[in-house]
């Protein structure tokens, strides 16, 4: 019977990695909002009106900042834990390999280009962003997009491989992420499962 949730990564790890993949968007949105509200960027004390003005002008930037911090810290500890589990990995030999690092470029284009074409950001745009953010996360957390991450792919290589499984004595296919950015056919790897057909390679 198939598992209803094939992911070995915890939900908080998935959400951290998802937020990290949108970090460039967070930066661009924050800059756009700040420029639009820069006339309100001055200390007005801690009275009710000042707090309301801050939330209206820079509350969304604060939210994006919190998500960004969570993204980097959560992803850091997620990969630290994965690396510590190296002893649980099993050996394989690469039969064929295809780099998937270019996927990160198309992933960036899906939100950077539409953002640059937008006008001023208002309440409707904030609501739209939140709704789409939730929908994208639901799709992201159940797909190979987990590993297609522009920030992660600056440090890790992303590959689609056919590999020979010595225990099952047959070839299998997987998407892997690895600190090694230069892999080739015939290379020996140790891989550990992250999710359905998604692995981390040592």
What's the confidence (pLDDT) of residue 198? 86
User: 188-195 and 198-201 as β-strands: parallel, antiparallel, unpaired?
Assistant: antiparallel
Distances (CA, A) of 22 to 11, 87, 140, 157, 159: 17, 32, 12, 18, 21
CA Rg value for the chain: 21
Question: With 0-12 CB in 10 A as exposed, 13-18 as middle and 19+ as buried, what is 46?
Answer: exposed
What's the confidence (pLDDT) of residue 77? 94
Residue 164 sits at φ, ψ, to 5 deg, of -95, 120
20-74 pLDDT per residue, tens: 988 988 888 888 888 888 888 877 677 888 888 888 888 999 999 999 999 999 9
Is the predicted pLDDT of residue 9 greater than 60, yes or no? Answer: yes
118-171 pLDDT per residue, tens: 556 777 778 878 888 888 888 877 777 777 788 888 889 889 999 988 888 889
Label each residue of 88-137 as H, E or C.
HCEEEEEEEEEECCCHHHHHHHHHHHHHHHCCCCCHHHHHHHHHHHHHHH
Residue with the larger pLDDT of the pair 8 and 93:
93
Lookup: tokens for 22: 């949108």
What's the confidence (pLDDT) of residue 8? 65
Return the top range by mean pLDDT from 14-18, 127-131, 192-196.
Answer: 14-18
Is pTM beyond 0.75 here?
yes
Question: If residue 83 lies in a helix (H) or strand (E), which one and from where to where?
Answer: helix 48-84
Contacts of 85 (CB under 8 A, 6+ apart): 192
What's the confidence (pLDDT) of residue 70? 97
Average pLDDT over residues 82-108: 82
Question: If residue 77 lies in a helix (H) or strand (E), which one and from where to where?
Answer: helix 48-84
């Amino acid at each position: 019977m198939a598992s209803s949730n094939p992911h070995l990564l915890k939900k908080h790890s998935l959400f951290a990695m998802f937020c990290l993949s949108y970090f460039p968007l967070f930066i661009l949105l924050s800059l756009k909002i700040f420029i639009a509200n820069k006339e309100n960027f001055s200390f007005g004390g801690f009275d009710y009106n000042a707090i309301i003005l801050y939330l209206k002008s820079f509350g969304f930037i604060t939210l994006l900042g919190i998500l960004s911090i969570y993204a980097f810290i959560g992803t850091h500890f997620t990969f630290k834990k994965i690396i510590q589990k190296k002893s649980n990995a099993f050996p394989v030999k690469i039969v064929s390999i295809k780099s998937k690092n270019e996927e990160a470029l198309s992933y960036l284009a899906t939100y950077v280009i539409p953002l640059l074409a937008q006008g001023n950001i208002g309440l409707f745009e904030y609501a739209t962003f939140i709704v789409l953010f939730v929908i994208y996360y639901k799709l992201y957390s159940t797909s190979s997009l987990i590993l297609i991450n522009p920030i992660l792919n600056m440090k890790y290589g992303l590959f689609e491989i056919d590999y020979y499984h010595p225990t099952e004595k047959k070839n299998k296919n997987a998407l892997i992420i690895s600190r090694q950015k230069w892999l080739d056919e015939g290379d020996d790897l140790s891989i550990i499962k992250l999710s359905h057909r998604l692995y981390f390679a040592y």
